[in-house]
Structure 1
């Protein structure tokens, strides 16, 4: 039955991709856009129905040669190949501009040195980003505001929590009125409660990896209609009861392949593992290689 679910989801997504149910249909990459007119549509997109498409999340935008992580260019490249949303990493500069960067230090992903927090925004703008192979590109560090504005009508961005105070994140999303295409990663119900106090339309990617964490969200009264559940890096049979509880609440289940299946050397086994995540009941796969995940699903459908 799980394999049938995956096949149904793959063919449904291909139909949507071809006929534009969620986005535009002309122009390079536009057929893969995910676009919503209101926060309620975003909430509905992440609601479990039993007939959902397999969803792909690009971890930091993806790791492709020539396209640095946490860059608009990486997001745009992924969307040329597949519909996806993106987990991204906001951090602060010395003068409190929110930019995208996973590490606190600059060396791995830029031609800079030291800590991002020691640079002014105008100084950070002088740096160039490196790709996954450490090759310097012509691309610059984007501000979070730039990314939120760019992503409107194209995709959804999921903001991880690094060193940016929650009040700053909430204020920016409110100022840009970006509730239709921004979601927030929260690690416990108190964080979700804070955001909902600032505005009732926030959407969350919530850490719910156990029955205890499930109960904590239930007891806190966080609306299940505004939650996607991150359950861990591995698809495990013992998680089935948790999947069932979340699905009964209309919540999609997400697995992150970044620390697990993405590290496999054998491509065939890796693709099989990607598909198995969906076959075993998860609905969303977050990966450093979102284009590869899409290819693994195309193999199921016979589409090349």
Structure 2
């Protein structure tokens, strides 16, 4: 029995190695050439001739590429440049890992609450893909993701159960202000991070003019904000988008709870394209590759932002 178990474990390890080699070497990946906080701010500055961008919600999952995994990041980047919204959570022994739910059941082979397990236990679990299929991949730590992403993409940290002080300290430890952004739900959260680190960039909830004024009154520089305006493309957004654009701020809609759930690829493609046509600059999507394909024809013929795009 022990020999059979050992053989199975070796098979999983070998499979993980082989698949990771294939994913890492079969194609070049699209990268964002951003190496300083100032370049990140320049990239997200609205100019009116910007390249529409996709952000992979929960890391841009796909078949065989589980959400919140390094493998999902690399898979998406084979098809499109992208940023990735990810979900840091704490294990029982306070290791920061990537997991959207506070429970393990939906996306891993584990059961129950994440915070009931130590990192030593969690790292033995395997991730499931969007179809519930078990993969060879494991839950990464946030630190692993930050190290992996440097020179490739930009990570956007959602707010889950990690204390703000801990998040701020990890970004400082890796001098990661050039490729790690922080999601903030209000101006008070943004002010905490900005007072601690003047170089940090935000994906900020700015769903109303009132919220916009609160960031302004808190003294958060607009060049350090990319604005999340909500999950719906609606006519009422136009005034807010215009006001933010006047301040040099790019605007983002998340299609994950809305248009990603449309029943056909054709319906989704039409919705993604319309979001960009309505003046939005970034789409955060579960179906990041689909969204990127749908908006490709809307990329301007020339843009000063082209210098930020490359391949590795």
The residue number in structure 2 matching 1:164 is: 162
> Cα distance, 1:297 vs. partner?
2.2
How far apart in 1 are the matches of 2:171 and 2:182? 10
Per-residue Cα deviation, 1:193-245 (whole angstroms, up to 9, x for no partner):
11112110000000000111111111111100000000000111111110010
The residue number in structure 1 matching 2:175 is: 177
Paired residues of 2:58 and 2:68 also in contact (CA < 8 A) = yes
The residue number in structure 2 matching 1:33 is: 31
1:298 aligned to which of 296, 299, 302? 296
Paired residues of 1:29 and 1:81 also in contact (CA < 8 A) = no
* Secondary structure in structure 2 of the residue aligned to 1:237: coil
2:244 aligned to which of 228, 246, 252? 246
Per-residue Cα deviation, 1:128-170 (whole angstroms, up to 9, x for no partner):
0000111100000000000000000000000000000000000
The residue number in structure 2 matching 1:11 is: none
* Superposition TM-score, scaled by structure 2 size: 0.86
The residue number in structure 1 matching 2:60 is: 62
> Cα distance, 1:298 vs. partner?
3.4
How far apart in 2 are the matches of 1:146 and 1:63? 18
Paired residues of 2:73 and 2:84 also in contact (CA < 8 A) = yes
- Count of aligned pairs between the two proteins: 275
Per-residue Cα deviation, 1:225-270 (whole angstroms, up to 9, x for no partner):
0000000001111111100100000000000000010000122121
* Superposition TM-score, scaled by structure 1 size: 0.88
CA shift in 2, pair 1:108/1:27, >3 Å? closer
How far apart in 2 are the matches of 1:130 and 1:253? 32
Query: Runs of 5+ in structure 1 lacking a partner?
Result: 1-25
* Secondary structure in structure 2 of the residue aligned to 1:195: helix
The residue number in structure 1 matching 2:224 is: 226
Paired residues of 1:56 and 1:84 also in contact (CA < 8 A) = yes
Give the 5 Å matches for 1:46-57. Answer: 46-57=44-55
Paired residues of 1:112 and 1:127 also in contact (CA < 8 A) = yes
1:288 aligned to which of 281, 286, 295? 286
1:278 aligned to which of 266, 276, 279? 276
Q: Please give the root-mean-square deviation of Cα atoms over the aligned residues, in Å.
A: 1.3
